Chains A and B, each alone.
Chain A
Amino acid sequence: MSFTRKSTLTIALSILALLFSTQCSDNRATFEELENNRLFVIFKGTYESNNPQPWNVPADLYDPVAGVQDDSVDDFFDSSQLDPASEGDEFPTAFMVDIAEMRLVDTGGEQHKFSNYRQTLVFNVNNDSDILFNGTGYLMENDDVEGKVYVAVLIYLRKIVLNKAKKYSTGEGGWKLNETLRTIFAEKTLYGFPVLPGYDFVQHLIYSHYDRIRLESTYLNRVFPVLVPIAKPYVKYSSSLDSAVLEIRFVLKNFIKKYEVDGYDALGSMTTTHFYSLSDWLYDVRERENDIGGNLLTTARMYVPGYTGSVVGTNFTGSDSYVIAVPSDPSFTDVNEYVKNFTIPDENSAKYTPGGGLSVTETVDEGFSLYTLSVAGDPIADGVVPGDTIEMISTSTTFPEQYYIVNTVDAASITFKAEEGLGNDGDVSYQVWPVNRREANPCDFAVQPRRLGSGIESLLDYYAKFEYYRYQYNQKEKGCQNLDQYKSQWTNYADELAPKNFAIPPNATYVPAGNSYIISNITAPGSYEIFSAPAPSYGTLFYDNDFTHQGTVKVPVGGSETVDCY
């Protein structure tokens, strides 16, 4: 018996000794590791990674070209139609976002949960000291993640709210303010009613053209999650790093526009709600379209403090500019996605004006006519390409403005296709605009109106709108005959605007004319192409050929390279 006792004791002690002998010198404080974060997620509401352009909201909230109002607003144009005028639109003051969770996507496409925290955040809009808009960024709540290379972040957006949304209704004396809309945000209610002023536009962030015909259209949500690509150069995140920063940017600053939604009130009178959302610069929004999907422009970059450098320089271009640094690529194919962007009509400048004394020849072709516009100059040299939009402006009022697509271009003429007899009129002038991807799409039909209310006024409005819709439908060239064509045309349209053709650069800064700039926290060592472009007007980003190549630099760790912009 005593032998057994002794041997048991010996065995127990041997096991203990064995366990402790496995202690390694590279053990770590695991409980502190659970508590501490190595990965810092910074959320910014700016195009720029450094030094954002100050807010420059146009004073005129009703101007559809240079102002805040989008050209899709068609029921109520300015405060002179309002009684009293002082109750008109106001620019939002608060931006609220409700994030359900965030996930990282690795190179294999696998999703990794790292921030299972609901975050409801409120920021000041039109305020240059707010951390979301002054270049500092908001530090998000998250845990660490496995050591891997990550290429995208998924952000599950439950709500995105801008305040100052107002509902107007018709009545004696014109439009009257009905109410300032309120919304439920972060479950805040008073006696069951929403208390926070604002309008949640997540419901509008879908695509008119696909999503309306899908079975799941009623509950489709394009931003749950929104996929934010992490720009190159990719950084391998590892738990041996002291810290790593993931910077997520939404283009919000100077990119907010006003839209409208129609409805009818309980008495059957028409109402219109003016709300604020993201600019439709990329995916154009038309009259009576409430879907503004695709316009939440995002980018993200990851860098490791201690493995970064910076680019500095002075802006000698004479105009307030943006400077961007994108990873170098000898073939420039990867660079083009940042600087070529795509071509959409710059509403402020025509690409080409053929001049006076034009002769137009018409060739009839199956109900349509090919028009050849003989011009004095060389349109090829002036950059006209097939696919550009030709605008025919009537100098009389016999017919509305027409847009056609340029078919072929040669050294002395431009050919376009139009309905028989419509492309040639004595009283017209022509202008060529850069191709509008939407105009170029033969399946870009007007959105069919829906009857919104139940009263007689809504029925009559519906008939009137439906007639106008039929008119618009018949204006379209019959290049879109069936659903397959419709699907493929809109898929092409979406592809042209997809991240591979258009991306927000990872490193960007705003620099006023004559001032010096610094783009810091660029992953180093690495080669970067530096471009500059004049600052875009409110609510727009950069058009093709806006960016000028200023040089290629190798950024050293901890150092800076100088590139002046001329």
Chain B
Amino acid sequence: MLILNKIPSSLLFYIAALLLVTALFPESGFAVKSRKDYFYKPQLGAWFGPVTPLGKGSTLVDAALSGGAFFRYNLPIRPLKIGIDASYQKYESSGVNELTLVPVYANLLYLLPVNLPIRFQLKAGVGATYNFIKPDEWDQWDPVIMGGFELSFPAGRLINIGLRVDYLYIYQGYVDKSARGGHLINAGIMLYFNL
């Protein structure tokens, strides 16, 4: 509360009012409505970029280049979208270890109420991932949860260009309580269309 005391009360009031308006009237909270509206259309896109396992996994397989596709649709509450995301990630190593993952998950996206041409979205999701390891040649599906952040800017009415960073956790604790599962970071540039 010390910090709050140092901020002028008028500024605090302004921030509180902005948050309230954003929450209650998401479509009316911004000045340029018409341009934003294109962003609330259904969206289809693809991403491409570096992916890597974290922790112990990073010593077993190498980072790789990977890519995926996604589709997003609006929810009745304006700053929220629901999306489905699928990607293909093949991690090789200097040895014989090889890990192939196909995470498929649904996520909820929240558009941060920042009045800038660049849009910031936070996202979180759940789904399942197909994983295949060599040399054992085992394949199975495991649950995955994810969280991420992305920024994008419009290039005309139809196209958005963006950057994204996702964290994925592949849960395997249900197999064996001691199983750590897999932690991944996916980063990428993306291109998507307002349909």
Contact = CB atoms under 8 A, between A and B. Distances in A.
B141 A143 contact: no
Interface string A2-18: 10010011001101100
Interface string B115-132: 000000000001110010
Contacts of B73: 5, 8
B180 interface: yes
Contact of A27 (B96, B106, B140): B140
A115 interface: yes
B128 A19 contact: yes
Contacts of A147: 136-137
A16 B142 CA distance: 12
14 contacts: A5-B76, A23-B128, A24-B140, A27-B174, A27-B175, A29-B172, A30-B142, A30-B172, A31-B172, A114-B95, A114-B135, A117-B95, A143-B95, A239-B136
A31 B180 contact: yes
Contact of A28 (B61, B82, B126, B140): B140
Would you list the 9 A-B pairs with minimal beta carbon distance, nearest first? A19-B128, A29-B179, A239-B136, A116-B95, A27-B140, A143-B96, A143-B95, A31-B182, A34-B60
Contacts of A112: 96, 135
Interface string A181-207: 000000000000000000000000000
B5 to A, nearest CB: 45
A477 interface: no
Interface in B69-118: 73-76, 82, 84, 94-97, 99, 104, 106
A5 B60 contact: no
Given A31-B57, A116-B96, A143-B95, A16 B126 contact: yes
Contacts, number: 112
A113 B96 contact: yes
A410 interface: no
Contacts of B134: 146
Interface string A137-177: 00000011111000000000000000000000000000000
Given A5-B76, A9-B82, A28-B138, A19 B179 contact: no
A474 interface: no
B83 to A, nearest CB: 9
B179 A146 contact: no
A32 B141 CA distance: 16
Interface of B: 56-57, 60-61, 73-76, 82, 84, 94-97, 99, 104, 106, 126-128, 131, 133-138, 140-143, 170, 172, 174-176, 178-182
A90 interface: no
A20 B143 contact: yes
A116 to B, nearest CB: 4
Contact of A34 (B97, B142, B178): B97
Contacts of B95: 113-117, 143
Given A8-B82, A15-B104, A16-B128, A34 B99 contact: yes
Among B60, B140, B178, the one with the most A-chain Cβ atoms within 10 Å of its Cβ is B140
Given A27-B172, A33-B136, A146-B135, 5 more contacts: A19-B141, A23-B141, A31-B172, A114-B95, A116-B96
Interface in A101-125: 112-117
Contacts of B61: 34
A35 interface: yes
Given A15-B104, A20-B128, A35 B135 contact: no
B170 A116 contact: no
Nearest to A116: B95
A112 B141 CA distance: 27
Contacts of A32: 172, 176, 179-180
A398 interface: no
Nearest to A18: B128
Given A30-B140, A31-B181, A34-B57, A12 B94 contact: no
Contacts of A24: 140
Nearest to A239: B136
Contacts of A22: 128, 141
A114 B95 CA distance: 7
A34 B133 contact: yes
Nearest to A115: B95
A414 B183 CA distance: 81
Among B56, B142, B143, the one with the most A-chain Cβ atoms within 10 Å of its Cβ is B142
Contacts of B182: 30-31
Contacts of B143: 20, 23
A13 B74 CA distance: 15
Nearest to B75: A5
A27 to B, nearest CB: 5
Interface in A432-461: none
A12 B75 CA distance: 13
A115 B93 CA distance: 11
Contacts of B127: 16, 19
Contacts of A12: 82, 84, 106
A35 B127 CA distance: 25
B135 A145 contact: yes
Contacts of B140: 23-24, 27-28, 30
Nearest to B144: A19
A20 B145 CA distance: 13
Contacts of A13: 106
Interface in A513-537: none
Nearest to A32: B179
Given A8-B82, A34-B61, A19 B136 contact: no
A42 B13 CA distance: 73
Contacts of A113: 95-96
Contacts of B179: 29, 31-32
B126 to A, nearest CB: 7
A12 B104 CA distance: 11
A120 B87 CA distance: 40
B82 A29 contact: no
Contacts of B135: 112, 114, 143-146
A213 B170 CA distance: 59
A476 B138 CA distance: 63
